[in-house]
Structure 1
Amino acid sequence: MKFSREGFLEDCLAARRRDGMPAVRELLKEAVREPAAILAELGDPTEAKLDVFHNSSELTIFAAHWTPRMNLLPHDHQMEALIGIYTGREDNILWRRTEGGIEAVKARCLFAGDVVGLGADAIHSVTNPLPRFTGGIHIYDGDFFATERHQWDPETLEEEPSDGATISKIFAEENRRYRAANG
């Protein structure tokens, strides 16, 4: 099977309009079933970044690349999300709101070929535990970049606002850390 960035995008938009996010999930499952085809189209991840395929009020799709040992603090998306891993591994801790803040309730490890769905109220933190890059296709049921989101301090678990600038800063720091450690 050959993966085409443009073809995948068109198929996802048509599926979303026709049958909603469950249909998009099936397309993502089919795509990550052949990780080599995605790598042939997108290439191996070489830095922490979001490679945006599409962003609109209807759907946001991007390939997320995590540096080796990268961590993302607890955060929410405020919309349904699908994550399909095509290289590496992504460990998720799922959190829930409590009267005092948030608490961890579950963990899930995603390997190449795995797909997970997160509800609009989901809170998760992400770690790439591997000494190599991880890549995943992330699909959001709305405009990911225009939506006000939240993150939680990893030490105090205090809630803070999150936006594109905050995420860009985290990715830039991860890339600096990776380059410093790997010359």
Structure 2
Amino acid sequence: MSFDLEALVSACKVALGEEKPQEHISKIVDKLLSDPDSLSQALGHQTIAGIEKLYVSDELTIINVVWAPKMTLNAHNHNVWAVIGVYAGREDNIFWRRVKNDPNGKIEAAGAISIAAGESASLGKNLIHSVTNPTDTFTRAIHIYGGNFFEIDRSEWEPMSLEEAPYSVEKTLAVFQSENAIMDALKVTGGNA
């Protein structure tokens, strides 16, 4: 089986018309993950952290996310459901919940999940999570969202205060760029930045 982006988009669009689209898309992702090597071959063996847009509409976003070694993304929400399928490496997710009656929108840890190559996770619309690649290699994953990932109003949380702030796509992309700068510095210094 080889990865076919057009077929994936088409299958996801059909799933959106189902009563429980997220469940159907989870099955689609699990089928993709049954051949992670095909995904790697089709999407590349990137050594640059980033978010690659594969498909974006108001109802559906499919992205290829590449996490640098040891990279962490602060707690954030999506305000839409998401299905994440890791095809290389591992993602560690910490789940957070809002502290009741906190005027600053503070959060507290509420659980965690580790998603290894060949595994997927289905995240609810109201879920808050932070993501870390705990490995020394790049982690690669397909992320599918039930809306336009790049246009949704949502929140992120400051890592020290755990207080809520407006989410910024630009800030998130800057984190990926910063990780790439660190990787470049490590190459120049032979791993001793």
RMSD: 1.1
* 1:23 matched residue in structure 2: 24
CA distance in 1, matches of 2:185, 2:161: 27
Gaps of 5+ in 1: none
Q: Does 1:35 align with 2:36?
A: yes
Gaps of 5+ in 2: 189-193
Instruction: Give the structure-1-normalised TM-score.
Output: 0.96
CA distance in 1, matches of 2:9, 2:80: 19
Structure 1 segments, 4+ long, off by >4 Å, are none
* 2:157 matched residue in structure 1: 152
Q: Does 1:171 align with 2:176?
A: yes
* 2:114 matched residue in structure 1: 109
Aligned residues of 1:145 and 1:163 also touching (Cα < 8 A): no
Aligned residues of 2:22 and 2:122 also touching (Cα < 8 A): no
Aligned residues of 1:81 and 1:141 also touching (Cα < 8 A): yes
* 2:58 matched residue in structure 1: 57
Q: Does 1:79 align with 2:80?
A: yes
SS of the residue corresponding to residue 160 of structure 2 reads: coil
SS of the residue corresponding to residue 17 of structure 2 reads: helix
CA distance in 2, matches of 1:155, 1:179: 27
CA distance in 1, matches of 2:14, 2:87: 22
Identity, % of aligned positions: 38
Shift of 1:42: 0.7
Moved more, 40-49 or 128-137: 40-49
Shift of 1:168: 1.3
Q: Does 1:130 align with 2:135?
A: yes
Instruction: Give the structure-2-normalised TM-score.
Output: 0.91
Shift of 1:163: 2.3
Q: Does 1:7 align with 2:12?
A: no
